[in-house]
Structure 1
Amino acid sequence: MERGRNFLRLMLVPVAALAVLGGARAQEAAPQPQLPRVQGIVVEGERRYTEAQIIGVLGQRVGQPFDPIALDNGLRRLWVSFHVRGSSARRDVPGGIELIITVEEMAVDREPRFIGNDGVDEKTLRKWALLEEKSELYLHQAGRVRQRLLENYRREGFYFAEVSVLTREGDGVVPDVIFEIREGRKVRVEDVRITGNESMPDTSFLFFFEDGLGALSGRKLEGPGLFNWLGEKFDEEVLEADLLAMRNVYRDRGWYDAVVELDHYEFNEDRSKVKIFIRIDEGERYRVKSLTIEAVEWAQPDERGNNELVPTQLLYPEEELLALCTLEPGEVYERVAREKDIAALRTRYGQDGRIAHPTLPRRLAWSFENPDLVFDVETHTVAVTYRLVQGREIKIREILVNGNQHTRDAVIRREVSVFEGQRADLKEIERSLGRIISTQYFSDQYNQLKHRDPTFRFVPAQDSGGEVDLEYIVEEGRVIDVNLAGGVGTDNGAFAQVSLTMKNFDLSDTPDSWSGMLSEVWRKEALHGAGQLLELYATPGTLVSEYRARFLEPDIFGSHLNPIGFDIEFSRRLRIYRTHNERRSLFKMRLGRRFGFDMRAWAGLVTTGVDVSDLDDSGVPPALDFQDQNGALRLTGATFDISARRVDNPYIPHDGYTFNASTVLYSKYLDSDIDLTSVDISGDLYVPTFVKEDGTQTVFHIEANIGAQQPYGDTASTPYSERYYLGGTKSLRGFRFRGVGPVDPFSRYPLGGETQLYGTFEWFYPIHATTQPGTYKKLEVLRGGIFFDYGLLDPESWSLDFGELRTSLGFTLGLAYPMPITLNFGYPLQTEDGDVRQTFSFTIGTR
Structure 2
Amino acid sequence: MTLRSKLALFISLLLLSIAAFAMEPFVIKDIKIEGLQRTEPGTVFNYLPVQVGDTMTEDKSSEAIKSLYRTGFFKDVRIEADQNILLITVQERPSIADIQFAGNKMFQTDKLKESLKSVGLVEGQIYDKTKLEFMEQEIKKQYLSLGKYTASVKTTTSPLERNRVAIRFDIEEGIISRIKEINIVGNQVYQKLDLISQFQLQTTNWLSWWFKDDQYSKQKLTADLETLKSFYMNRGYLEFSIDSTQVSITPDKEDVFITMNISEGPKYKVSDVKLAGDLLQVPESELQNLIKIKKDEIFNRQKITESTKAMNNRLGNDGFAFSNVNAIPEINKEEHTAAFTFFVDPGRKVYVRRIDIEGNQRTRDEVIRREFRQVESGWYAADKIERSKERLKRTQFFSDTNIETPAVPGTTDQVDLKVKVTERNTGSIMFGAGLSSQEGVIGSFNVTQANFLGTGDRVSAQVNTGRINRTYALSMTQPFFTPEGVALSYDIYRRDVNASKVTFATYDTSSMGVGFRFSVPFTEKNAFSYGLTYDNTEVDNLTRDLSPIRYINYCNSVKGASNATGCSMNSLIASVGWTEDSRDDILFPKKGGLRRVNGEVSTPGLDIQMYKLTFQESVYKEITNDLTLMVNGQVGYANSYGGKEFPFFKNFYLGGVNSVRGYRLSSIGPVCLAGDTSCGTTTQTRNMFLGGTKQLVGNIELFMPVPFMKNNNQFRLSAFIDAGNVYEESESIRLSSLRYSAGLGVLWVSPFGPLKIVVAQPFNEKPTDRTEVFQFQMGQQF
- In structure 1, the partner of 2:753 is 820
Alignment partners' CA distance in 2, 1:537 and 1:107:
59
- In structure 2, the partner of 1:325 is 291
Alignment partners' CA distance in 2, 1:374 and 1:188:
44
Of residues 66, 73, 76, the one that matches 1:75 is: 66
Q: Residue 705 in 1 paired to residue 624 in 2?
A: no
Q: Residue 841 in 1 paired to residue 771 in 2?
A: no
SS in 2 for 1:705: strand
Shift of 1:78: 2.2
Change (3 A) 1:51 1:411: closer
- In structure 2, the partner of 1:596 is 522
SS in 1 for 2:511: strand
Change (3 A) 1:394 1:48: closer
Q: Residue 59 in 1 paired to residue 23 in 2?
A: no
Note the alpha carbon deviations across 1:205-228, whole angstroms, 9 max, x for none: xxxxxxx9756x6x2667567795
Note the alpha carbon deviations across 1:149-171, whole angstroms, 9 max, x for none: 4323334543334567999999x
Change (3 A) 1:225 1:633: farther
- In structure 1, the partner of 2:652 is 724
Of residues 150, 161, 171, the one that matches 1:160 is: 150
- In structure 1, the partner of 2:470 is 545
Amino acid at match of 2:634: N
Alignment partners' CA distance in 2, 1:718 and 1:102:
95
- In structure 1, the partner of 2:443 is 494
Of residues 665, 683, 695, the one that matches 1:756 is: 695
- In structure 2, the partner of 1:574 is 496
- In structure 2, the partner of 1:294 is 276
Q: 2:308·2:326 contact (CA, 8 Å) conserved in 1?
A: no
Alignment partners' CA distance in 1, 2:127 and 2:372:
59
Q: 1:586·1:607 contact (CA, 8 Å) conserved in 2?
A: yes
Alignment partners' CA distance in 2, 1:572 and 1:174:
68
Amino acid at match of 1:289: S
Give ranges in structure 2 of 5+ residues lacking alignment. Answer: 1-24, 436-440, 556-563, 675-685
Number of matched residues? 711
Of residues 779, 786, 789, the one that matches 2:718 is: 786
Change (3 A) 1:414 1:644: farther
- In structure 2, the partner of 1:670 is 605
Alignment partners' CA distance in 2, 1:341 and 1:285:
21
SS in 2 for 1:81: coil
Change (3 A) 1:233 1:429: closer
- In structure 2, the partner of 1:383 is 339
- In structure 2, the partner of 1:773 is none
SS in 1 for 2:175: coil
TM-score by length of 1: 0.64
SS in 2 for 1:387: strand
Alignment partners' CA distance in 2, 1:594 and 1:55:
69
Q: 1:549·1:570 contact (CA, 8 Å) conserved in 2?
A: yes
Where do 1:153-552 residues align within 5 Å?
Answer: 153-161=143-151, 184-187=174-177, 219=200, 228-229=209-210, 231=212, 234-250=215-231, 253-254=234-235, 255-256=237-238, 257=240, 259=242, 284-295=266-277, 314-315=280-281, 321-342=287-308, 344-346=310-312, 348-349=314-315, 354-356=318-320, 365-376=321-332, 379-391=335-347, 426-427=382-383, 431=387, 445=397, 448-449=398-399, 485-490=429-434, 493-498=442-447, 535=459, 537-543=461-467, 544-550=469-475
Q: For CA contacts below 8 A with separation 6 or more, give which structure has more relative contact order.
A: 2
Alignment partners' CA distance in 2, 1:222 and 1:616:
74
Alignment partners' CA distance in 1, 2:164 and 2:357:
57
SS in 2 for 1:246: helix
Change (3 A) 1:635 1:191: farther
Q: 1:583·1:612 contact (CA, 8 Å) conserved in 2?
A: yes
Note the alpha carbon deviations across 1:128-157, whole angstroms, 9 max, x for none: 994663799766567545533432333454
SS in 1 for 2:288: helix
- In structure 2, the partner of 1:300 is none
Amino acid at match of 1:573: R
Of residues 571, 577, 580, the one that matches 1:642 is: 577
Alignment partners' CA distance in 2, 1:113 and 1:400:
43
Q: Residue 683 in 1 paired to residue 647 in 2?
A: no
Change (3 A) 1:392 1:229: closer
Q: 2:662·2:760 contact (CA, 8 Å) conserved in 1?
A: yes
SS in 1 for 2:224: helix
Note the alpha carbon deviations across 1:387-429, whole angstroms, 9 max, x for none: 3222456689x99999999999999999787899997765456
Amino acid at match of 1:737: L
- In structure 2, the partner of 1:585 is 511
Alignment partners' CA distance in 2, 1:638 and 1:767:
44
Shift of 1:334: 3.1
Q: 2:241·2:264 contact (CA, 8 Å) conserved in 1?
A: yes
Alignment partners' CA distance in 2, 1:406 and 1:177:
38
Amino acid at match of 1:388: V
- In structure 2, the partner of 1:84 is 75
Note the alpha carbon deviations across 1:630-668, whole angstroms, 9 max, x for none: 52463636434222244555555555443322223347x
Alignment partners' CA distance in 1, 2:101 and 2:421:
48
- In structure 1, the partner of 2:4 is none
Alignment partners' CA distance in 2, 1:181 and 1:474:
36
Alignment partners' CA distance in 1, 2:742 and 2:111:
50
Shift of 1:326: 1.6
Shift of 1:782: 0.5
Alignment partners' CA distance in 1, 2:362 and 2:168:
59
TM-score by length of 2: 0.68
Amino acid at match of 2:341: T
Alignment partners' CA distance in 1, 2:80 and 2:230:
67
Give ranges in structure 1 of 5+ residues lacking alignment. Answer: 1-34, 204-211, 296-311, 357-364, 504-521, 693-697, 771-778
Shift of 1:837: 4.4
Worse overlay, 422-431 or 329-338 = 422-431
Worse overlay, 822-831 or 137-146 = 137-146
Alignment partners' CA distance in 2, 1:742 and 1:417:
49
Alignment partners' CA distance in 1, 2:247 and 2:450:
60
Amino acid at match of 1:293: L
Shift of 1:680: 0.8
- In structure 1, the partner of 2:665 is 737
Shift of 1:793: 0.9
Q: 2:544·2:552 contact (CA, 8 Å) conserved in 1?
A: no
Q: 1:167·1:175 contact (CA, 8 Å) conserved in 2?
A: yes
SS in 2 for 1:547: strand
RMSD between aligned residues: 6.2
Alignment partners' CA distance in 2, 1:335 and 1:461:
35
